[in-house]
Amino acid sequence: MIWELVFAPFVEFGFMRRALLGCVAVSFGATPVGVFLMLRRMSLTGDAMAHAILPGAAIGYLISGLSLSAMTIGGLIAGMVVALTSGFVARVTAITEDASLAAFYLISLAVGVLIVSTRGSNVDLLHVLFGSVLALDDAALILLCSFATLSILTLAVLLRPLVLECVDPQFLRSVSRLSAITHFIFLALVVINLIAGFHALGTLMAVGIMILPATAARFWAAGIVGLISVAALIATLSSVIGLLLSFHFSLPSGPAIILVAGIGYIFSLIFGPVGGAIVQALPRQKT
């Protein structure tokens, strides 16, 4: 029974194993980044960056067709340009980072839509640009796994300054020059993880796997290690359950995975031991 429901689909079908591997890679790569985004109160930055990447990927597609590398490189360039310029503007002018990011991603998005429209192709670019988790080929899987590895290794190196930047950015800026570098490398990580997520989950679902597990983890753990582990666990579970739901109930896979993560978030929000709704409602016990 359990075998039939849970394991058989993966044993029997190669595309299910590929989908699972792709999702797990994205789960491990993107969720730690999501945790830091949340801790730095930048959760919506993920969404903004997702829009900033689209035009670059679209240009890549228009130049060389459905090529994984062209679209990835295009997306990387667009994402990095937006991240770097908005970060730079925020550091040298009076404007705050979220405002300058909003400005730059909107410019980037407008440029992208303009290019796509004047090119006159009527194939729905958003649909073509990013694959479905069910159609991951070898090249896409290698890309997803390398991006996840790169992301985890970079985070391991940057862990200390990143945590400091979350807790007390003023202090970090005063004692070390690493502050700016850390910030930009972190934004770069956001970009590469979003691109990986795009290839796996298609368009805007990618932001979901980055942010939802991280915010859900917030209700289960307080320390950074705990947060990251719980978030990665929730993301992986959501991937497995979402894929199985897609398999057994004939649902589109990307939205199924994100919805499971969303249900995980709502469950955590109610029952989570760290600041969840029920815990908050209970009378405080005196210690």
CA distances for 186 relative to 68, 170, 174, 260, angstroms:
24, 17, 19, 27
Closest separation in Å from C-beta 189 to other proteins: 27
CB of 164: closest distance to other proteins in angstroms? 42
Our finding on whether 15 is near other proteins (CB under 8 A) is yes
The sign one gets for the Cα dihedral 139, 141, 144, 148 is: negative
In the complex, minimum distance from the CB of residue 213 to other proteins, in angstroms, rounded to a whole number: 21
Q: Considering beta carbons, is residue 113 or 224 the nearer one to other proteins?
A: 113
Considering the complex, what minimum distance in angstroms separates the CB of residue 199 from other proteins?
10
By CB under 8 A, tell whether 202 contacts other proteins.
yes
For position 4 contacting other proteins by CB under 8 A, the verdict is: no
CB of 46 to other proteins, least distance (A): 22
**Closest Cα to residue 47, out of 28, 66, 29, 34?**
34
Among positions 219-248, residues that touch other proteins (CB under 8 A) are 243, 246-248
Identify which of residues 87 and 131 has a Cβ nearer to other proteins in the complex: 131
By CB atoms closer than 10 A (0-12, 13-18, 19+), residue 131 is buried
Structure tokens at 250: 């004939």
Other Cβ atoms closer than 10 A to 251: 15
Sign for the pseudo-dihedral over CA of 51, 36, 239, 61: positive
Give the interface segment with other proteins, choosing from 41-49, 132-140, 144-152, 214-222 (CB under 8 A): 132-140
d(CA 138, CA 7): 22
Binding footprint of other proteins on the chain (CB under 8 A)? 9, 12-16, 18-19, 66, 117, 120-124, 127-128, 131-132, 134-137, 202, 243, 246-256
